[in-house]
């Protein structure tokens, strides 16, 4: 038995285990567990930010797609002018006259491009102005089997995602040709939003033509 350490006997020995406290290996294990927990927390935050960004991009694409269809419904005389592909390289005149169905459609297409690129959301002033909204490398495709007349019109918006993800066979992302080949060899970086609706072009008699 080991004698107890007391005020009267301060030099008495105590059992080896109770006097040693934490060993070096125990400290290292604690540090390792704490480091792993911090790494896990950091990875979780990164994943959450990526998910939030992808969600924001898809929400913006949905809003733009809805706007495209609404403008087409309001200008049915120029439906054929809306069936086009628009991306960052599409050029428009800065002095467009928006009077008349055809010219209004041209102005709408220009507005679609600005929305895609986030031209209306800027930061800074003067020469330091830069856009802060918009989709990453977007492409807008409007198609129809009866362009210019009554029928089903499809708006497809694609953009570049942050991470590669091969589209599933048979999915919309795999079969759609909008922006095909611009987002990786197998479109693995392509993100896609598609919306379709039937638009009636009213004739002179009030019926669909």
* DSSP at 208: B
**28-62 pLDDT, tens per residue?**
888 888 888 888 888 777 777 777 788 899 999 99
Averaged pLDDT score across all residues of the chain: 84
Q: Which of 182, 189, 96 is nearest to 140 (CA)?
A: 182
The whole-number pLDDT of residue 36 equals: 86
Note whether 181 and 156 are within 8 A (CB): no
Please state the separation of Cα 73 from the chain's center in Å.
27
**How much of the chain exceeds pLDDT 70, in percent?**
81
Q: Give the domain ranges of the chain.
A: 16-122+132-199
């Amino acid at each position: 038995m080991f004698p107890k350490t007391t005020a009267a006997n301060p030099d008495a020995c105590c059992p080896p285990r109770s006097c040693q406290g934490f060993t070096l290996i125990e400290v290292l294990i604690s540090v390792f567990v704490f480091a792993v927990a911090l790494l896990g927390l950091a990875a979780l935050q990164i994943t959450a930010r990526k998910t939030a960004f992808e969600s924001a991009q898809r929400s913006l694409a949905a809003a733009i797609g809805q706007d495209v269809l609404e403008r087409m419904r309001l200008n049915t005389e120029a439906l054929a002018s809306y069936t086009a592909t628009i991306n960052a390289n599409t050029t428009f005149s800065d002095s467009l006259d928006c009077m008349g169905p055809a010219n209004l459609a041209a102005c709408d297409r220009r507005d679609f491009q600005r929305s895609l690129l986030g031209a209306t959301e800027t930061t800074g002033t003067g020469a330091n102005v830069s856009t802060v909204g918009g989709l990453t490398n977007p492409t807008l495709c409007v198609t129809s089997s009866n362009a210019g007349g009554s029928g089903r019109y499809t708006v497809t918006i694609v953009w570049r995602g942050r991470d590669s993800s091969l589209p599933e066979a048979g999915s919309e992302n795999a079969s759609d040709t909008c922006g095909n080949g611009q987002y990786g060899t197998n479109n693995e970086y392509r993100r896609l939003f598609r919306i379709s609706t039937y638009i009636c072009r009213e004739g002179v008699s009030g019926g669909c033509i």
